[in-house]
Amino acid sequence: MRRYDGDVAVVTGASSGLGRRLAVDLARRGATVVGIARRQQLLDQLAAELRAHSPESSTVACDVADADSYRAALADVESSRGKLDILVAAAAVEAETRVPGADVDDFRKTMDVNFFGVVAGTLAVVPGMLARGSGVIVNFSSDSARAPAPGGAAYASSKAAVSAFSEAVAVELADRGVRVHVLYPGWVPTPMGLQAVERGMPLPPRPVRRTEDQIADLVLERMGSPAIELNASRLPVMAPLARAFFPKAYRKSVTKNSNS
């Protein structure tokens, strides 16, 4: 099992689901972790759990869509801890956006958290990482970016933007000691994953279903490697090819198996 002793890691979306699992597992593996999310009560519970494994760990209540506060929170981690080695950007929201019916503001709200939150975090930590000659950023995308599903235009757009942004930055920084990854977690029964099923999304096919533990292990064993994409499941990687070469079959399957 890979250890992170001595590393300082920030995890957003740390109050729930995949972000919480990664924050706790990073602390278990020796990192000093700062967990970021908005719900104070959940952050207080998390802080106690983090400190049981890694005494210097803490939590900060912050909305990643508020770029100024988020930048300030990251700068504070860097100055108080002396460095910031790892940023895991898991914070996101998912709301149904049907066309017609959705308003442009519904798209803006989703983009503000899911995309501009990721952009703000990456831009804030890269200068310090470059100055130190090392750093790892893991930005969370979704298979929705590869196979957008009915009712998910805002979420899929935000995740496609995260993928393009992260890939471009990854190749730009690869030779300068900073690794940027884009994670595709498949489908995981977190509150977000389960809410999608409750809203009527069919349970995704078995090959794309994963657990929180599997995703945390994937990230913690592979981050820092030359791979840009971290894929929990290989099946959705085929979606763009299927769309190009078998459009009818593709449309049928994506309508049936819309994925979170």
Name the site residues for ligand NAP (rule: CB under 6 A).
12-19, 37-39, 42, 63-65, 90-93, 113, 140, 142, 185, 187-188, 190-193, 260
* Residues contacting residue 110 through CB under 8 Å, at least 6 positions apart: 93, 94, 95, 97, 154, 155, 157, 158
Nearer to ligand NAP (CB atom), residue 31 or residue 64: 64
Nearer to ligand NAP (CB atom), residue 130 or residue 228: 228
Q: Report d(CA 260, CA 244) in Å as an integer.
A: 22
Which residue of the set 15, 54, 141, 166 is catalytic? 141
Nearest-CB residue to ligand NAP? 17
Element (H, E) at 78: helix 67-81
Specify which residues 178 forms β-bridges with.
135
Cβ burial of 220 (10 Å; 0-12, 13-18, 19+) is: buried
Angstrom distances, CA of residue 94 to CA of 74, 83, 107, 123, 142 = 24, 32, 10, 23, 11
Which residue of the set 155, 158, 163, 250 is catalytic? 155
Nearer to ligand NAP (CB atom), residue 12 or residue 32: 12
Closest approach of ligand NAP to the CB of residue 132, in Å: 26
Active site residue 70: no
Pairing of strands 178-184, 229-231: parallel
Closest approach of ligand NAP to the CB of residue 177, in Å: 26
Which residue of the set 58, 159, 250, 258 is catalytic? 159
- Reduced to 3 states (helix: H, G, I; strand: E, B; else coil), residue 243 is helix
Kindly report the CA angle at 190 between 31 and 112, in degrees rounded to 5?
A: 80
Nearer to ligand NAP (CB atom), residue 130 or residue 197: 197
Closest approach of ligand NAP to the CB of residue 202, in Å: 13
* Residues contacting residue 6 through CB under 8 Å, at least 6 positions apart: 30, 31
Nearer to ligand NAP (CB atom), residue 56 or residue 63: 63
Closest approach of ligand NAP to the CB of residue 110, in Å: 10
Active site residue 155: yes
Active site residue 184: no
Contact 198, 107 (CB under 8 A): no
Angstrom distances, CA of residue 254 to CA of 146, 184, 202, 259 = 11, 17, 11, 8
Closest approach of ligand NAP to the CB of residue 83, in Å: 22
| Residues recognised as catalytic | 141, 155, 159
